[in-house]
Amino acid sequence: MPSDENNHQIKTVLLVGASGYIGRHVAQRLLQKEHNVISLYRKVPELERPPRNKQVTNLVVDLNNKDELKTFSDSCPPFDAVISCLGSRTGGIQDSWNSEYLVNLNILRLALKRSAKKFVLLSAICVQKPRLHFQRAKLAMENELIHSRMAYTIIRPTAFFKSLAGQVDRVKSGRKFITFDNGEITSCKPISERDLAEFICSSLTNPKMENKILPIGGPSPAITPLDQGNLLFNLTGKKPKFLRVPSNFLKVLQTTLAPLSYFSSSFRDRIEFLRIAHYYATESMLYWENESIGYSSEKTPEFGTESLKYFYMRVLKKGLDEQDLGSHKLF
């Protein structure tokens, strides 16, 4: 394992998933901390123009392609550490295993080959109760990293602000806020993209964060979907109106579509999406306490300064153009 002294010598960072929601903010924070950044992009149609800066080297590589992977492994500029913010864009079964596990594993092997000092992996707090393919893929990668020779930090954030932004326009336009069941079954401590980026970048050189799995939430108390709706109605000055959808409805849809999964991978992905939706409708994004067999808001660590209220105020004023809500958002 690298020494603490070596950790403080990290200068150049290979950033995987640089075009994603969190990756873009991590890149900005790394530059502010005067790191050199090798930004690695996937070949996707919606790829935005990467930032151009003398501290940044932009590379576009399909790491699922064996030929491109070999070329990249041989020609990649030197780097001292890896930060991977890579994740599935769709939640589909194959995409989850390719993105969350296989690509990250290839990057880990490259980092070991290049004798990098540190690997920081962005995971998710929901892997505590893995029932979905993307969760199992994340856990498989966590396990690979833990049992490698690489110094690591695994970061498991709660909900991002963007994941709670899907109904901003609904409320703004006077429509009902949708909750599953009574809107109080689940809760989370959402964290802003900037606060999470700071936490991720700090883990590069903080010896207290080395070789640890770190759950992390934002600085505010846990909030339920009902709380989120009421907050939006209050900020927009509109009368609260809710549409309550039984979470079991998602189970019924899964059962109805199940026979079709034998004939089409597309239907298998649709069923997986319904399973994801049901998971988020019934499980909190908080620290899971085995002793009490339940989620604990008190034991979910807090970090940062930005509140969900401030975020809602910002997007109500400026819109959601900067928020990549993902192709499998619910509302």
Residue type, 296: S
**Domains in the chain: how many in total?**
1
Instruction: Give the CA distances from residue 57 to residues 12, 38, 39, 51, 54, in Å, rounded to whole numbers and listed in that order.
Output: 10, 5, 6, 9, 8
The Cα 21–Cα 18 span in angstroms is: 8
C-alpha of 331 from chain center: 18
Considering the domain boundaries, does residue 129 fall inside one?
yes
Q: How far apart are CA 194 and CA 137, in angstroms?
A: 26
For 191-200, what is the mean pLDDT?
A: 97
pLDDT tops 60 at residue 3:
no
CA distances from 78 to 8, 37, 107 (A): 17, 11, 13
Q: Give the model's confidence band at 46: pLDDT under 50 very low, under 70 low, under 90 confident, else very high.
A: very low
Predicted TM-score (pTM) above 0.85: yes
16 lies in some domain: yes
Query: Which has the closest alpha carbon to 303: 222, 164, 189?
Result: 189
Q: Which residue has the higher pLDDT, 325 or 130?
A: 130
* Residue 118 token pair: 């540190």
Q: Pick the range with the lowest mean pLDDT from 6-15, 243-252, 267-276, 313-322.
A: 6-15
The percentage of residues in the chain with a pLDDT greater than 70, rounded to a whole number, is: 91
Higher pLDDT, 152 or 7: 152
Calculated CA dihedral for residues 141, 143, 144, 150, nearest 10 degrees = 110
The pLDDT-based confidence of 91 (bands split at 50, 70, 90) is confident
Nearest Cα neighbor of 80 from 35, 123, 40 is: 35
Weakest mean pLDDT among 114-123, 136-145, 173-182, 316-325: 316-325
How many angstroms separate the CA atoms of 263 and 197, rounded?
42
Task: Give the DSSP H/E element, type plus range, for residue 242.
Answer: strand 242-245
CA distance 277 to 252: 13
pLDDT at 324: 54
Q: Is residue 68 domain-resident? A: yes
Average pLDDT score over residue span 79-103: 92
Residue 67 placed within a domain: yes
Per the domain annotation, does 210 fall within a domain? yes
pLDDT tens for each residue of 54-72: 788 888 888 778 888 888 8
Task: Give the structural domain span for 66.
Answer: 4-162+189-216
The reported pLDDT for the residue numbered 4 is 45
Residue 144 near residue 154, CB atoms below 8 Å: no
Q: How far is CA 216 from CA 39, 189, 244, 328, in A?
A: 25, 9, 29, 23
Report phi then psi at 179, rounded to 5.
Answer: -125, 155
- Domain of 31, CATH number, reads 3.40.50.720
In a domain, 234, yes or no: no
